[in-house]
Chain A
Amino acid sequence: MTSPSPVLYDYILSPSCYKARLMAALAGVRLALRPVDFHPGVEHRGPELLALNPAGSIPILVAPDADGDLILTESAAILVYLASKAAPAFLGSGKPAESARIQQWLAFSARLTASLGGARLHEMLHRPGDLAGLRASGIAALRELEAALFEQRLKGEAFLVGNRPTVADIACFPYVALAPDGGVSLDAYPSIRLWMRAVRALEGFIEMPGIHRLHELKPDPHEAPATAEA
């Protein structure tokens, strides 16, 4: 008997929900998706979802567990749960410094959500906010990330913590990749761009709108019958 799949309260355009979908895909965990009418319906602020998550945000993961349903409302916790269940290598080696660095990036990812995610909601879905302030804090976070990834490259390591992907990468990747949606360019960050390529090249990687797969890895582009631009 297999236990029923965890249920993800999901929105196709939400980078935070995509973190959970991506982690599940990489770990080979099947999720039951429960679409939430985030826009235009604002269903995440309705009674049914507020009962699950009083903070009024998604993702929400409801996972059947030994002691009843486990309800998780923070994407970082969802990533840790999925990795612990099915892909423990995404939690690092367990050495104290490594575990701590992963935690450091999971907490850092909340800054990306608030800044780059806020600018994106403002630019794309009319959410009120101080756009200049959101962009400035997003850029500050990107500069920290670029510096850290540059150091990693000097050590010969392609990911945030070590030379293999961890939940830290999955937590930071979506809002960074979608920064241009909020009017923040990634042109100035070569180490970030290389790191994004490494994430997109992972076995089992899935896309979301705005984050494309690596078409470049497909067979000889010179044989393509038409050009790719619209």
Chain B
Amino acid sequence: MSRDAMIDEWYPVGLLSQLLPEGRETLLMGETIRVSLGADGRAKVATTAGHPLPVTERYGHVWSSLGQPARPLFDIPEAEHPGRRLVDVGVVRVRCSPLRAVENFLDIAHFPFVHTDILGAEPHTEVESYKVEIREEADEVWATQVKFYQPQAAKSASGGITTEYMYRVPAPTCSVLYKTCPPRPGEWDVITLFVQPLTEELCDVWPWMALYDDDTPMTDLIHFQQMIFLQDRSILENQIPRRLPLDPGMEIPTRADLTSVAYRRWLKRHGFTYGAQLVAQ
């Protein structure tokens, strides 16, 4: 629809570990931008006309904005605790609305069908009741006490366990997932989905993780997450309508959808409509 309200938000535009002095061109909300490594060793982002754009370097990625962000990039305090392995998963391009990519990430009901025998399994398809809220002070969507039976919850899990999740949406195209951590009961693994909106129907997805796992080789951690995400890709590319409908009544919510309903409501309240569909078609 419009990119007005979303224009002042931060978006991921590249991996810090892969910056090149000559730079790389990419799209942000329809605009061509160049992401490069400056002579001072810092990331630089500019429009093709050479106009510099705001830059933040955090969580393994370069973040930028076409507008003027009113706030710094959201905090993930847990991710900066020492002792975690930080995993750059890379990028996957998906022909879908950036908002659809986030919404799918929030949906646990698809686990047994799409991530069969890994994140879910038949006949354990029941979603137990959990709590969803829009936290007004932080201005974020949160879902807590989400419990689900998982055959292989993480690379480090050796058998089926009931996993607890918390989901958080701190920015229109980013979601942070906190998940029971098999090797360290009491701590949460952090798994994020950072989505770069290229256009309203095309996005680059940059998953990133901060895990307590000292044993699994880095490549295995990357592959596990890529495997999970690629199981979603063809489904995301075939969703109808292509843009995320924000008007209530278009899809009938089940319990699993409550987070998605809150997410849509929060987007609508802020006028975050880039990649959204407002009128039922």
Q: Which residues of B contact A228 (CB under 8 A)?
A: 110, 113
CB distance from B252 to the nearest CB of A (A): 11
| Residues A13 and B91 in contact in the complex (CB < 8 Å), given A224-B122, A230-B109 | no
CB distance from A121 to the nearest CB of B (A): 10
* Assembly CA distance A181 to B93 (angstroms): 10
| Residues A225 and B95 in contact in the complex (CB < 8 Å), given A11-B223, A230-B235 | no
Chain A residue with the shortest CB-CB distance to B103: A230
Please state if A209 and B125 are interface contacts (CB–CB under 8 Å). no
Chain A residue with the shortest CB-CB distance to B88: A40
* Assembly CA distance A178 to B90 (angstroms): 20
- What 10 additional pairs, Cβ within 8 angstroms, besides A226-B254, A230-B110, A230-B114? A12-B223, A35-B219, A40-B90, A123-B95, A124-B233, A125-B93, A209-B228, A209-B233, A226-B125, A228-B113
Q: Which residues of A contact B93 (CB under 8 A)?
A: 123-126
**Is B116's CB within 8 Å of the partner chain A?**
yes
**Is B231's CB within 8 Å of the partner chain A?**
yes
* Assembly CA distance A212 to B122 (angstroms): 15
B residues bordering A, Cβ < 8 Å? 15, 17-18, 88-93, 95, 104, 107, 109-110, 113-114, 116, 122-123, 125-126, 204, 217-220, 222-223, 226-235, 237, 254
**Is A39's CB within 8 Å of the partner chain B?**
yes
Please state if A213 and B231 are interface contacts (CB–CB under 8 Å). no
* Assembly CA distance A11 to B220 (angstroms): 10
Could you name 13 residue pairs across A and B whose Cβ atoms are closer than 8 Å?
A: A12-B223, A12-B226, A35-B217, A40-B18, A123-B95, A126-B91, A126-B204, A210-B234, A225-B123, A228-B110, A230-B110, A230-B232, A230-B235
Selected contact of B230 from candidates A123, A183, A210, CB within 8 Å? A210
Chain A, 175-219, CB within 8 A of any chain B CB: 180-181, 183, 209-210, 212-213, 215, 218
* Assembly CA distance A228 to B126 (angstroms): 12
Please state if A180 and B227 are interface contacts (CB–CB under 8 Å). no
Among B91, B229, B254, find the residue whose CB has the most chain A CB atoms closer than 10 A: B91
Query: Interface residue tally of chain A, by bracket?
Result: 20 to 34
Selected contact of B91 from candidates A36, A40, A43, A212, CB within 8 Å? A40
**Is A41's CB within 8 Å of the partner chain B?**
yes
CB distance from B129 to the nearest CB of A (A): 15
CB distance from B207 to the nearest CB of A (A): 11
Please state if A225 and B219 are interface contacts (CB–CB under 8 Å). no
**Is A37's CB within 8 Å of the partner chain B?**
yes
* Assembly CA distance A123 to B109 (angstroms): 28
* Assembly CA distance A54 to B17 (angstroms): 26
CB distance from A203 to the nearest CB of B (A): 18
Please state if A218 and B227 are interface contacts (CB–CB under 8 Å). no
Q: Which residues of B contact A35 (CB under 8 A)?
A: 217, 219-220, 223
* Assembly CA distance A228 to B27 (angstroms): 33
Please state if B122 and A230 are interface contacts (CB–CB under 8 Å). no
| Residues A180 and B237 in contact in the complex (CB < 8 Å), given A13-B230, A209-B230, A218-B122 | yes
Chain B residue with the shortest CB-CB distance to A228: B113
* Assembly CA distance A36 to B222 (angstroms): 10
Please state if A37 and B218 are interface contacts (CB–CB under 8 Å). yes
